[in-house]
Amino acid sequence: MNEIIKYIKGCKKYDDLYDISWKLFLNKPMDKKYYKNMKVALFNVPCGGFGDVIACKTIYDYLTEWYPGLNVYICTPDIDKFKSISVDIKNMISMERIDSTDCPPLSQLKIKKNIKFDMMLVVPVVKRTFFINELKPLIPYATYFNTFTMSEYNGIMGPYTFPIGVGKGNMGLLLTNPKVNHHKFLKKPYALMYIQPPDLNFPHGHHCFLTFIHMICSKYKYPIFQIVIPEWICEIIQCYLETPQSGTCYRINKLLKEYTKEYPTVKLINTNKEEYFVKQGDPNDKTLILRGDILPKPRHDFISLIKYSVDDVLLTGDQSITDAFSCCTNKTIWYQIAPWKTKFALEMSKNIPDKYFKSFQTSCGTMKGIYYHPNYKKFLDSYDFRINGKPYFDSILLYTYFKDHPVLQTYMNIVESSRKLSTVKKKISKIYNE
């Protein structure tokens, strides 16, 4: 009880009380007997693409590797997304959607299989604050003492047990050691960009891809150079080539011609492998080929595309940039900043350090960065979740094993029956003094 009282004195708000139970076990020795046959559920409700799915899959892989004999289940309404990235669905539990809402709260889902879990982890919590009442309709015995949360990178809607991302208070990136086979989609040399189109979420999409092209066409002067582009870039270039007129498509093509002056011939291959000339020079001059017929690709193929591209790569999204850091620390990684990821980008700019990540104007590439080549080693050593996060998982599993100890039960009952931090302090003080 003395140790609990010490922790309580350091609490600044009521919610901090829930962490004390497992923090008591931080840095205590772990043994297989403490987690063998324990059941852990990962609740995953993906938003948008595959980033949230891969984050959950990565945590699943960490846990099954770290704790042989631990039973880990993935509970999700999107099993098909996991299937599509070759996840073994043996330990997956389907949740049923009440309606077609994208990334609904857990309270809007139904679970089909009844398994008593020892511990639950919501991974990741995206764009909302997690409240335990969301999970209770599915898991009536869920409490803040047996349910934990993981953020998206530099999430802002905490509190989180596992705040992942970069900067003070964050546990780092979900790095892996991917086995990368050489793809056969196109010949080297080529560059890769994979970014989102301009809309309210990504207002600088046009600026992003054009500045990257400007930089790499000035840096790499091969006789034939290819750039792998997403479909939306292909379409906006093609729209003017098919129907020349004023407007956005015209301005994009005008800048594209200006930024590729090192290449007299620029050719576009669209998703149907149809060819267009943006500009056509002498057949013996250097040629740039924009390849819209390569993406999208499954994750393992996409990582291979990153690995065997030239030294500069342009990406967006938590998972894409994590895959790049995992496979290819020799690269200069450029990053399209989403408005809700400005803090993540800013923290990376401080901690890599990379001054170009401070602003969307330079994060996608800049002429000033042609000879820039960062060293990521210290950054990745500091922000590797496998190093920073495992002690926390150890302590939570140890706590889960010992949770029926009378002292812990007394403490948890006091917290659950109180509404204020001051009330808990009074009750604990009274018991201790007696």
Q: Do the bridges between strand 190-194 and strand 275-279 make them parallel or antiparallel, or are there none, so unpaired?
A: unpaired
Q: Rounded distance, CA 218 to CA 230, Å? A: 21
pLDDT tens-digit readout, 101-132: 778 889 999 997 778 999 999 999 987 899 99
Q: Is the dihedral of CA 201, 205, 208, 209 positive or negative?
A: positive
Mean pLDDT for the chain? Answer: 94
State yes or no: pLDDT of 260 exceeds 70. yes
Residue 244's CB: how many other CB atoms inside 10 A?
Answer: 10
State yes or no: pLDDT of 188 exceeds 70. yes
Which residue spans within 184-310 are E strands per DSSP?
190-194, 224-228, 265-269, 275-279, 287-291
* Average pLDDT rounded to a whole number, residues 332-355: 96
* Average pLDDT rounded to a whole number, residues 215-244: 96
pLDDT tens-digit readout, 30-89: 999 999 999 999 999 998 778 899 999 999 999 999 999 999 999 999 999 888 877 777
The helix (H) or strand (E) run that includes residue 315 is strand 312-315
pLDDT value of position 434: 52
Token digits for 232?
Answer: 């939306």
pTM: 0.93
Q: Rounded distance, CA 156 to CA 153, Å? A: 9
